Structure 1
Amino acid sequence: MYTAVHTILCENPTEKMWASYLYFENEPTTKQFLQSAYEKQEYKKANVLAFTNATKFIYYIKQARQYYQSAKQSDLLVRPLLLYYGMGSLLKAYILTRDPFYPATTKVLQHGITSRKIKKNYYSLAEDEVRIQKDGLLPYFHSLLQKEPLYDKYQLSNLLALLPELQPVYQRVYRKTSLLPVTLSPSLDFSQSCTVLYLSEEVLDYAHLTYNSFIYYINRYNKGRGSFSALNADIPSGIIQLEWHHPTCTNVKENGNGFENELFSSNYKGEFFYNISTDKNYMVNEIEIHYMVMYIISMLCRYETEKWGEIVFSFTSEDMYVIQEFLTISTRKFPNIIYDLLLGKRHIFQIT
């Protein structure tokens, strides 16, 4: 999906990220960008389609920018709603690069997901769930990324568990571990195309596997040309060591798709994590995770005003800590991963 990794040194990663979006906010550049995208997909009259959609695409981006800027300046009482609409505008911009006739029907303009309409007297964000509909923005976006359909419903605790940046808060509040950090060797072995990586030995306990069986297990989830192998060397106790091989990448940090394995994810700093969950039904694209969680929070904000107020202003709700951290993380990361998707490259905006 991603052809390369670009690390961009800057003083303010968020400002630099949004400044990079200016590339899409002028007609000549946007027309060329859309025409190239349509030609790769072999659409007829790609130049005409690009001319027709350029203005629409630009306004999707500009609208998203305005939603995010307004959210930054707004009170927490309304911020989730603004962020959710900003997400929707960014998703529509990407969809337009894949489907020049979007929206072909009004069905694809729906949310595509629902939540429970009546919340319990005792509300817990982790216990809430989102249900997937047949038609709408999210299922249509998903269909453009992969063939396997989304499941009928997802519990938020399982979705939150998959966000690398949220892991410290997740562990503190829910007293569970779902992601383990991956340490990469600082030295490169140029004699072979491999990356040496280290994991806590407890990963074997979570998987209920021996070292060699574990390597076989994770290789079953490879989605590209990368693969893992054993590395027998003297290392401190409590740690396991593996090699990751790829025919074109010496180091995994150079690969746009990371480890090319469903069990591994990365944060916006380019650091890697291993998912210890045994429920593979929750292997959802991170873009969709952010969208689903923000949908639930925005619906609380919009339709469950009293409960939302209690969460925001109460000192007794642990949800507030999780929600505030999620809003901060999503504000920074979601536009970043959509930008990556648009250009087909990973972009790591890093403080100088």
Structure 2
Amino acid sequence: MKRIHRITCENPLEKIWSMFVYFESEPHVKDFLTQFYRVPFGEEASKYAFQNTQKFIYNIKQGKEYYSAAQSSNILVKPLLLYYGMVSFLKAVILTADPHYPAHSKVLQHGVTSRKLKKSDYTFSEDEVKVQKEGLFPLITQLFESQHMIGEKIKIKQLLSIIPELKESYEKTYHEVSLLPLHLSKHIDYTSPVTTFYLSESVLDHFHLTYEGFISFLNRYNTGKARFIHHPIETPQGIIRLSWDHPEKIHVFESPNGFENHLFIQDYKGNHFFQYQQSHSHIPELTAHFLIMYILGMLCRYETELWGEIVFSFTSEEMFIIHEFLNISQRKFPNMILDLLFSERFIFETR
């Protein structure tokens, strides 16, 4: 991401969809794709952009139509519409990196599998997906440099745990802490520009680390130029104070990629969280939305009776978090697609 845009508006979702209209203009899209293709393909960039302009536009338009239909649909079919909306948007994203997509029929597969016939004692959170070697999803992992996911089996509960807007719902449903909110100091000392933040001291016990050991642990997951350093001022019992130092950013609020570290994540309002449970295998949040929606789409397509029992039964323990996920994903996934396409982070704030 190149920079952050904070946009104040009455209705964030309405504003997001209005920004997608930019991608319905052939001149805009041709110039847009040419910029992506120029470095890797040189003089052929304009040719490839011309060839893919309409394909890109129709992927975007189709994605919007799926989401529009999902907005007014019953929950019995909503996940399927949202999933195919995601697929259409991601095909457009892939086109920005690969002008030859689809090169062959195998890349048109989903790229993930799950057990189609569910067990009689089925539990949504314990269901899992397996990432295939070929198909749409493996191409997405390449964009995020997350090819380590290929061949892995991933449980839905793990995917739910990394979505920051689901933090409260996750804890109410599973009685576990998944994410810790960061308390960031807004004070800036221009003589020594670092971001000071606070975490619960419980993280040290959770990872069996000392304060200094925890700082070393965090720095192993850095993805950019920033690093975490010791803060010299003592803190009250129960919390720890750390500093984030970046050679080019005065404060993390200026960083479109947040802390540039796999263990930290942001919600769509720009609030930061520490991933309390995900310490080893990084899963980009956008891929978590996709994989969860894939399972939900499979349920409502192939296991209609079971799906109805899950979302309408008074005895279902996970109905609440599924409803929450669908509402949040409808709002956040298009936002993340905009971020990817423009290579900028958009934070929409209400007046």
Normalization by structure 1: what TM-score?
0.97
**1:236 Cα shift?**
2.9
Amino acid at match of 1:59: Y
Task: Please name the residue that 2:76 is paired with.
Answer: 77
Following the alignment from structure 1 to structure 2, what is the Cα–Cα distance between the partners of residues 251 and 295? 37
Following the alignment from structure 1 to structure 2, what is the Cα–Cα distance between the partners of residues 141 and 212? 36
Following the alignment from structure 1 to structure 2, what is the Cα–Cα distance between the partners of residues 45 and 270? 38
Task: Please name the residue that 1:330 is paired with.
Answer: 329
**1:44 Cα shift?**
4.0
The gaps in structure 1 that reach 5 residues or longer are none
**1:278 Cα shift?**
5.6
Task: Please name the residue that 1:60 is paired with.
Answer: 59
Following the alignment from structure 2 to structure 1, what is the Cα–Cα distance between the partners of residues 43 and 302? 44
Whether 1:31 aligns to 2:30 is yes
Whether 1:94 aligns to 2:93 is yes
Amino acid at match of 1:225: K
Following the alignment from structure 1 to structure 2, what is the Cα–Cα distance between the partners of residues 134 and 117? 19
Runs of 4+ with deviation above 2 angstroms: 40-44, 234-237
SS at match of 2:268: coil
Task: Please name the residue that 1:46 is paired with.
Answer: 45
Following the alignment from structure 2 to structure 1, what is the Cα–Cα distance between the partners of residues 225 and 234? 28
Task: Please name the residue that 1:237 is paired with.
Answer: 237
**1:122 Cα shift?**
1.5
CA contact (8 A) 1:230 1:242 kept: yes
Task: Please name the residue that 1:119 is paired with.
Answer: 118
CA contact (8 A) 1:64 1:85 kept: yes
Task: Please name the residue that 2:259 is paired with.
Answer: 259
CA contact (8 A) 2:70 2:81 kept: yes
**1:261 Cα shift?**
0.6
CA contact (8 A) 1:193 1:248 kept: no
CA contact (8 A) 2:86 2:290 kept: yes
CA contact (8 A) 1:7 1:349 kept: yes
Show CA shifts across 1:38-92 (max 9, x none).
0032344111111111111111111111111110000111000000000000100
CA contact (8 A) 1:5 1:346 kept: yes
Change (3 A) 1:209 1:339: same
Task: Please name the residue that 1:249 is paired with.
Answer: 249
Following the alignment from structure 1 to structure 2, what is the Cα–Cα distance between the partners of residues 295 and 278? 21
Task: Please name the residue that 1:165 is paired with.
Answer: 165
SS at match of 1:228: strand
SS at match of 2:8: strand
SS at match of 1:41: helix
**1:207 Cα shift?**
1.2
CA contact (8 A) 1:207 1:276 kept: no
Following the alignment from structure 1 to structure 2, what is the Cα–Cα distance between the partners of residues 337 and 193? 29
Once the two structures are overlaid, the 10-residue window that deviates more, 267-276 or 225-234, is: 225-234
Following the alignment from structure 2 to structure 1, what is the Cα–Cα distance between the partners of residues 40 and 340? 16
**1:25 Cα shift?**
1.0
Once the two structures are overlaid, the 10-residue window that deviates more, 2-11 or 139-148, is: 139-148
**1:193 Cα shift?**
2.5
**1:280 Cα shift?**
1.4
CA contact (8 A) 2:204 2:211 kept: yes
Task: Please name the residue that 1:340 is paired with.
Answer: 339
Task: Please name the residue that 1:351 is paired with.
Answer: 350
Show CA shifts across 1:181-214 (max 9, x none).
0111021111122111111111111111111111
**1:102 Cα shift?**
0.7
Task: Please name the residue that 2:204 is paired with.
Answer: 204
Following the alignment from structure 1 to structure 2, what is the Cα–Cα distance between the partners of residues 86 and 49? 25
Following the alignment from structure 1 to structure 2, what is the Cα–Cα distance between the partners of residues 34 and 321? 41
SS at match of 1:274: strand
Following the alignment from structure 2 to structure 1, what is the Cα–Cα distance between the partners of residues 242 and 143? 34
SS at match of 1:265: strand
Task: Please name the residue that 2:280 is paired with.
Answer: 280
Following the alignment from structure 1 to structure 2, what is the Cα–Cα distance between the partners of residues 236 and 321? 37
Task: Please name the residue that 2:218 is paired with.
Answer: 218
Show CA shifts across 1:16-42 (max 9, x none).
011111111100100000011100323
**1:264 Cα shift?**
0.5
**1:147 Cα shift?**
6.0
CA contact (8 A) 1:268 1:333 kept: yes
Task: Please name the residue that 1:304 is paired with.
Answer: 303
Following the alignment from structure 2 to structure 1, what is the Cα–Cα distance between the partners of residues 192 and 65? 48
The gaps in structure 2 that reach 5 residues or longer are none
SS at match of 2:258: coil
Q: How many residues align?
A: 350
Amino acid at match of 1:82: L
CA contact (8 A) 1:180 1:273 kept: yes
Following the alignment from structure 1 to structure 2, what is the Cα–Cα distance between the partners of residues 50 and 170? 43
Following the alignment from structure 2 to structure 1, what is the Cα–Cα distance between the partners of residues 99 and 248? 34
Normalization by structure 2: what TM-score?
0.97
SS at match of 2:286: helix
Map residues 128-147 of structure 1 onto 2, 5 A cutoff. Answer: 128-146=127-145
Once the two structures are overlaid, the 10-residue window that deviates more, 52-61 or 146-155, is: 146-155
